Amino acid sequence: MMAEKKKTGILFDLDGTLWDSSAAVVDSWNVVLDKYEDATRKATIEWMQRLMGKTMIDIENMFLDYLPPERRHVLMKECLDYENEYIAVHGGILFEGVKETLELLKKDYHLSVVSNCQEGYVPAFFKAHGMEQLFDDYEEYGRTGKVKADNISLVVKRNNLEQAVYVGDTLGDYNSTKEAGLPFIHAAYGYGEVPERTVKITDIRELPQAVKKIFRT
């Protein structure tokens, strides 16, 4: 039997890299939070942008820190479950040029999403914006329980990627990518800052050229 052909891949963060879903997430969470008297903190855009990119455990411990741990977990699960339903219907705001750029990159590269989100969030993104056909794989913290570095390595291994690069917008993305042993491209239009020496793009339409430079070195 012939060995599977090696491929070159681009792995993407989601929030702050491909879209901004913060307004939709705020709306969905507040539908849930408004049902309960003990949920005294409401979701806001400012809160959401602080929380984007973190794992669910980190999010519930930051946002619901005023509640007992067991109650935090139950309430956060309800927020996240409803968020998936809401996002699948209402979507978020795709950054300008995302779809066209992905269509271009898909011709030459294996494309994946690796996110610290809850299980079901990436499929909701795909469904809301008709992205299923543009991606070959995805992984979520909520599905594996693994940190982002491990999920990056998991996707690289199971797709037999000979070369790969990760595109993300936060220092957490940068650190996870380095831990996984991949080169990193900073989506500087997103939510975070990373070391100056990192390859940066200020518009996703700059990505094809940035990727070519990385894979030549």
22-90 and 7-20+93-216 share a CATH fold: no
| The CATH homologous superfamily of the domain defined by 7-20+93-216 | HAD superfamily/HAD-like (3.40.50.1000)
| Residue (of 216, 204, 213) closest to 101 by Cα position | 204
Q: 3-state class of 163 per DSSP?
A: strand
Q: Where are the domains of the chain?
A: 7-20+93-216, 22-90
Nearest Cα residue to 23 out of 116, 86, 78:
86
Report pLDDT digits (tens) over 155-192: 999 999 999 999 999 999 999 999 999 999 999 999 88
- Residues 58-101: tens digit of each pLDDT: 999 999 999 999 999 999 999 999 999 999 999 999 999 999 99
Residue type, 26: V
What pLDDT does residue 215 have?
A: 92
Quote the mean pLDDT of the chain.
95
Which CATH code is given to the segment(s) 22-90? 1.10.150
The yes-or-no verdict on residue 53 having pLDDT over 90 is no
Whether the predicted model's global pTM rises above the 0.85 cut: yes
Dihedral of alpha carbons 139, 142, 144, 145, sign? positive
Statement: residue 209 has pLDDT above 50:
yes
Q: What is the pLDDT averaged over residues 204-211? A: 98
Question: What are φ and ψ of residue 40, in 5° steps?
Answer: -85, -15
The pair of structure tokens assigned to 116 is 């610290």
**Is the confidence at residue 217, as pLDDT, over 80?**
no
Model confidence band, residue 1 (pLDDT cutoffs 50, 70, 90): very low
**How much is the pLDDT for 68?**
97
